A and B are shown apart, each in its own frame.
Chain A
Amino acid sequence: MNARALGAGLLAALTLGSLVSPAPADEPEKSPRVEAARPVSIADVAAGEAAYLVIHRVLLSPRCMNCHPSGDAPLHGDVAVPHSMNVSRKSVEAGLVCTTCHRSKNGAVPHSPPGVTPEWRMPTRDQPMVFQGKSPHDLCEQLKDPARNGGKSLSELAEHMGHDPLVLWAWAPGPGRSVPPIPHAELARAAETWTHAGAPCPK
């Protein structure tokens, strides 16, 4: 790298770093979830944007998207049909919680309810976290926004994608269901890369 390119790189790194610097002490803190800033290079941003596109492929796979629908009813199967039995957020609000049927293990036969954790659920009506139909840019912006992602910081997002049993379930979904298009380890690496770069979003 020549001196000119090095200088341009440093300038870019400093500029990007300033974009994520902490607010001055006399400004109110915007969110308790804002994490300590650190300089981010152009290369980091490019890698982060590429990593997000990997994450996006997983988010739009049926195993993730089916519980993040654009409507109020969760979806079924690989063709995303609305949940049978008229199940929707209204059901949950009226006493039929997801864990009525979705218990600690997948049903043993096709078309029986999957399950993995007592926390099986879909996002609430006031924070629906829609994945279905979202562009990479829009979903990326939503994903990293604590006001729209269940209050998660970037490190918590990486932890969620790397270790949450509900996420890991997607790669062991029980009989008759496809798995996401990449191995889970690849998602975990992409999540680390993306969050490490400050969670940049593709245009």
Chain B
Amino acid sequence: MPNISFFVNGRAVSIDAPEDTPLLWILREELGLTGTKFGCGMALCGACTVHVEDLPVRACMARLGEVAGKRVLTIEGLGQNGLHPVQEAWLEENVPQCGYCQSGQIMGTVALLRKKPKPTDEDIDAVLSSHLCRCGTYCRIRRAVHRAAEKMGGTP
């Protein structure tokens, strides 16, 4: 088995596992980063969303070999100094109910705000419709996205 090196939340890691192992397994089982959730296992729910080289990726579909040498960001590494503004907005709007999908929702929102610092409701729907919330917190999610955009002052 090859040793595959990459960066997780700014930290260099080297993993001895088959290169077609899902990234999600590596994050949760090998690195103990359990903030990223297993939902459907086939990229249909968004719960396992992380960023690879600043782009959103469903960690259940990405293979270990695909991230060799790349930067992976998980919910644990999002706030560099305390909470990220999106996380703050999530708390202020009391978004989570059961919370299971929320790390994926937040990672999806950060990707959205990077491209659309002042998103419209249509922009939000175009990105976050791919994130399912079985508790139905969608209205609060939308409010929190707008609040986060305000906090960030239009900066991606």
Contacts and interface: CB of A to CB of B under 8 A. Distances in A.
B78 to A, nearest CB: 15
Contacts of B112: 94-96
A55 B114 CA distance: 40
Given A94-B112, A95-B114, A111-B42, A85 B129 contact: yes
Interface string B21-59: 000000000000000000000111000010000011110
Interface residues of B, number: 29
B15 interface: no
A113 B43 contact: yes
A86 B116 CA distance: 17
Interface in B51-84: 55-58, 61-63, 65-66
B85 interface: no
Interface string B6-30: 0000000000000010000000000
A105 to B, nearest CB: 7
A107 B123 contact: no
Interface string A81-92: 000111110110
Q: Which residue, of A95, A100, A102, has the highest number of chain B Cβ atoms within 10 A?
A: A95
B61 A94 contact: no
24 contacts: A86-B125, A87-B129, A90-B122, A90-B123, A90-B126, A91-B130, A93-B115, A94-B112, A94-B126, A94-B127, A95-B114, A95-B127, A96-B108, A99-B55, A99-B57, A100-B57, A101-B130, A103-B58, A103-B66, A107-B42, A111-B42, A112-B44, A115-B61, A118-B66
